[in-house]
Structure 1
């Protein structure tokens, strides 16, 4: 048995259920959940907790697909992807990014580096399984296509008595194998075959799902009347279609009014469109017509069969791609529904929560004016809890609304020149009393000479306030909070630094995630909505800037870099 047949047998007998998947994530809990789920689905699963190990495992084991986390310490997911795609042995392994990032810039960067898809955390397991199956199927089809191309070239090469046939097959295959447009595939196949084999007409008909009707979906003809769109009932031609449905090509000369102009006799060649060695059924047939006395030679029949096989692979790949695009559109629709829901529920919650907060204030004033001696410490404590809960819920509603409308705000940025030496002290003035009460020190470090910053002042103010709120909440008594500004010709760097607190390294990449809180910190002690830093990151991106966090040696620093155009 030759090597090509061995390769084919291997491809046909290898099921997706036995494919190897490498999961790369620096969080053991994420690894464990995905590892267990994928093993129950019949996959062989490998795992790595950092980029270095992932590269070693990928090169040594050559997995069929990689689930790759983007945000990791050391070598991040983007760098791992770049190195894998630059390695000849791992370049063709499909990579699906796992990321909590939802901005377009990171999606585009992942695709530019060679990723085939992305899944946003938290991961919906059935969605992930569907995407894995889709990309493993695409990979298998590409392997089969490559194998078909190899066989096709070898067979054509063996028929050197037909000058130029090898170049023909190569040209047709190259044109259709990478296309994901079914109409374009049909057009290329019919036109190229008709021109090179010098036929009077070339048609492609496709069956319906039950194989009871065949429709001519594309035609190239320069003599016969157009018949594109014509529908044929298989039952009307039982002997003809019985042979074709058994994957046997046929050639005959006969007058069939439905197939050709009345009274004209032609030689017809029909080749079924299906994948050689594939388990799928027949998609349709390729029809070529010549004058009665011009029969098709054996090598021409073989050539048409090979092109038909390539068409089948390309058509199935195009349909699979179209199905995946529909899935993407459906996911986008669901995301829009989710956003609309958040906007609606936030608006609906705003009015009653404002009424509750107003009622608390009214109750306090009423008690102080009419029943001042009836207010016990317990009652005061209950009112404080009520007031704080109302404020927390109002802040959550406001943050949710801001999060929903940030994308729209990107188109409504109003830039103005800002004197940071004057503006920053004004913004941080309300925090002086708060830091003094909490026994913290608030310092400003601004150079005497700074360029004016051209940016949106309201968005920049919200960014600084959120960072200062965060610093005030987590800075212990006796420690220092510093607002620092640095600038060059193109960028203004705003740093908010607080001493006495360190964020664990493994948590630093997650502090911008929605509703994320650092483990072991009591949320009731610090309050907040869990959206503050998420909003900061999105607002910085609206200003076309970047934000990073660095935490070591007893201090934490948030660095915001804003371009100054």
Structure 2
């Protein structure tokens, strides 16, 4: 008598006819596991390479090259989005067997069926129905590169028309895209911090340079005053101990020489004291302007009358130096509202600058005119406020500024080397103040220079408020 196994146990045993099927299932499962492990290793290798770099270009190049080689496809490219301009620009590609398209720009609005999905963070794959002129018919996978801050760009993978990307390949591409987004944000953060470091270094250098220059400018007048005081003290001491003591009304050669010395030393003290005061005032004015503390009261100005108050000292100085001062103010400039202090300081600084650097027998020209006539003003209004532009030009001949110097002309404490024929010196803050005051008035200033016929011209364009009643 033979014992038969239960039916349930007998049905669970593989039959000889099922053995090939089981082997196939095991082999397939093993292949899937090996492929998954291989892809995990590939992803780690790509991730390590991508995340190791802080160079945005290198990150893109690594991603597209590794995806092309790992998946064995025809090519891959990465694009960056500019959402403000609505464009997608191919910034990197790796093409094994297809033409290169690096730098190509696409308008997002031109392909809404593609970019609307990508902008929502959705990937897709498709096969082109019509042959592409460069690539022919191709299977393509598009995957967005995005993070919690938004979409940065996309990855496009290209292969032959019959190919379909598997689920495992899709996950690999998505993971690479995620790692690219993280790496790109890190690279941009690093670049931003580096730019800030450089800017801080630049500011620190400017601060050191500023302090050094200020220290020098403040020390020089003090040293001169100290020397003049010492010489004055020595001269007075000699005078007091001298046996020469005739009545004051009696001429005496030694006393006259001593009086000349005393007068000279007192002049040095007065000039250097004035220089120190001007420097401190200029520094305070610049500080107020940079902190927006300059006065903003508007006065009604008639430019012709205004200039008659500004010009007398410059007429005397130009006449003494044999310079030709020419004034031309257009007749159609009506009264306007502006800050008297700021406008006077701007014009005075420019004329002072012209007088300082103009050689004898050369000219200094001051011109003012309106950009547009005022016929457009509507009649029969009690008060009409308009904003035409007043142009002011201060031009002097016989001198030029090298093109390399023009960009620095408005820097604090900057002086053009060997360009002061009258040896007046100055604080080096005049033109910096002019620029700040002009901007304070809502205008802009430019400087031009010529070499064929040497000249320097400062031009101010100033929007003005005109009151017409």
Tell me the TM-score normalised to structure 2 length: 0.52
Change in CA separation of 1:329 and 1:554 when aligned onto 2, cut-off 3 Å: closer
Residues in 2 aligned to 1:469 and 1:334: alpha-carbon distance in whole angstroms: 32
Deviation (angstroms), 1:444: 1.8
Counterparts of 1:362-401 in structure 2, within 5 Å, are: 375-401=258-284
SS at match of 1:309: helix
For 2:186, the equivalent position in structure 1 comes to: 316
Counterparts of 1:78-157 in structure 2, within 5 Å, are: 140-145=55-60, 147-149=62-64, 152=67
For 2:414, the equivalent position in structure 1 comes to: 516
Check conservation: 1:410, 1:542, Cα contact below 8 A.
Answer: no
Deviation (angstroms), 1:150: 6.7
Counterparts of 1:38-57 in structure 2, within 5 Å, are: none
Residues in 2 aligned to 1:376 and 1:299: alpha-carbon distance in whole angstroms: 100
Check conservation: 2:370, 2:390, Cα contact below 8 A.
Answer: yes
For 1:426, the equivalent position in structure 2 comes to: 309
For 1:560, the equivalent position in structure 2 comes to: 460
Residues in 1 aligned to 2:206 and 2:321: alpha-carbon distance in whole angstroms: 43
For 1:541, the equivalent position in structure 2 comes to: 439
Check conservation: 2:414, 2:428, Cα contact below 8 A.
Answer: yes
Change in CA separation of 1:510 and 1:164 when aligned onto 2, cut-off 3 Å: closer
For 1:196, the equivalent position in structure 2 comes to: none
Residues in 2 aligned to 1:414 and 1:445: alpha-carbon distance in whole angstroms: 27
Q: Does 1:452 align with 2:452?
A: no
Change in CA separation of 1:446 and 1:330 when aligned onto 2, cut-off 3 Å: closer
Q: Does 1:531 align with 2:429?
A: yes
List per-residue Cα deviations over 1:24-60 (Å, max 9, x = no partner): xxxxxxxxxxxxxxxxxxxxxxxxxxxxxxxxxxxxx
Residues in 1 aligned to 2:459 and 2:256: alpha-carbon distance in whole angstroms: 51
List per-residue Cα deviations over 1:268-320 (Å, max 9, x = no partner): xxxxxxxxxxxxxxxxxxxxxxxxxxxx9744653464245324413532541
Compare relative contact order (CA 8 Å, sep 6+) and give the higher one, 1 or 2: 2
Check conservation: 2:413, 2:429, Cα contact below 8 A.
Answer: yes
Check conservation: 2:301, 2:337, Cα contact below 8 A.
Answer: yes
SS at match of 1:550: strand
Aligned counterpart in structure 2 of residue 464 of structure 1, from 329, 343, 347: 347
Deviation (angstroms), 1:485: 1.1
Tell me the TM-score normalised to structure 1 length: 0.44
Let me know the Cα RMSD of the aligned residues. Answer: 4.9
SS at match of 1:520: coil
Check conservation: 1:453, 1:492, Cα contact below 8 A.
Answer: no
Residues in 2 aligned to 1:463 and 1:316: alpha-carbon distance in whole angstroms: 48
Counterparts of 1:241-252 in structure 2, within 5 Å, are: none
Check conservation: 1:493, 1:562, Cα contact below 8 A.
Answer: yes
Structure 1, unaligned stretches of length 5 or more? 1-7, 16-136, 177-182, 190-295
Q: Does 1:417 align with 2:324?
A: no
Residues in 2 aligned to 1:313 and 1:470: alpha-carbon distance in whole angstroms: 54
Residues in 2 aligned to 1:171 and 1:383: alpha-carbon distance in whole angstroms: 83
SS at match of 2:311: helix
Change in CA separation of 1:498 and 1:381 when aligned onto 2, cut-off 3 Å: same
Residues in 2 aligned to 1:434 and 1:375: alpha-carbon distance in whole angstroms: 30
Deviation (angstroms), 1:464: 0.6
Residues in 2 aligned to 1:494 and 1:386: alpha-carbon distance in whole angstroms: 37
Deviation (angstroms), 1:154: 8.8
Change in CA separation of 1:388 and 1:320 when aligned onto 2, cut-off 3 Å: same
Deviation (angstroms), 1:443: 2.9
**For the pair shown, which has the larger CA radius of gyration, 1 or 2?**
2
List per-residue Cα deviations over 1:436-458 (Å, max 9, x = no partner): 33233333211222133332221
For 1:491, the equivalent position in structure 2 comes to: 389
Aligned counterpart in structure 1 of residue 401 of structure 2, from 503, 527, 535: 503
Change in CA separation of 1:522 and 1:142 when aligned onto 2, cut-off 3 Å: same
Change in CA separation of 1:399 and 1:328 when aligned onto 2, cut-off 3 Å: same
Check conservation: 1:497, 1:558, Cα contact below 8 A.
Answer: yes
Deviation (angstroms), 1:462: 0.4
Check conservation: 2:394, 2:457, Cα contact below 8 A.
Answer: yes
SS at match of 1:526: coil
